[in-house]
Amino acid sequence: MPAPCSSSEIWGRAGNRERTMVEKELSQTGSAYAQLESMIIFEQLESGAMYSEKQLADMLDMGRTPIREALQKLAWEQMVNIYPRRGIQIPNLTVEKQLKLLEVRRPIEALCAGLAAEKATREQKKPDAGAGRGNCGVCSRPE
């Protein structure tokens, strides 16, 4: 029976470059999503205003593809409205919508915190690891 091929043998040099480009684009999409979400939440993008993909791409100094993919995710989460051939609108964020978002996010964040506590190493669980003493425990920057 022949030995299994490595991924580099399967993909070859060109495949590795293509895979790296895909990984880079995925990370750009995540970055675009995080930045757009933050801009919406902190009202750096005006509610009710229409924006084009190009405007948003210029604001974030990114290509249109990661912006488009991030906008699709934001539209699914109802944080933007996409109107084909017209643009992207930031809906008005009402108190009711904010409360609904919190209602959904709180249990998810609690599950994430529990899972992080389960998966943490002994070193991370040590009481003198910095958490609760002015540091957030994840970074060295004071809270």
Question: Checking DSSP bridges between strand 87-89 and strand 50-51, what pairing results, if any?
Answer: antiparallel
Cα dihedral 22, 26, 27, 31 sign = positive
Cα 125 to its chain centre, rounded Å, is 27
pLDDT, tens only, 25-63: 558 889 999 999 989 888 899 988 999 999 999 999 999
Note the pTM of the prediction, 2 decimals.
0.55
Alpha-carbon distance 114 to 138, whole Å?
Answer: 15
pLDDT, tens only, 114-142: 898 888 888 888 776 555 554 444 444 44
Q: From 1.10.10.10, 3.40.50.300, 3.40.30.10, 3.40.710.10, which CATH number describes the 11-89 domain?
A: 1.10.10.10
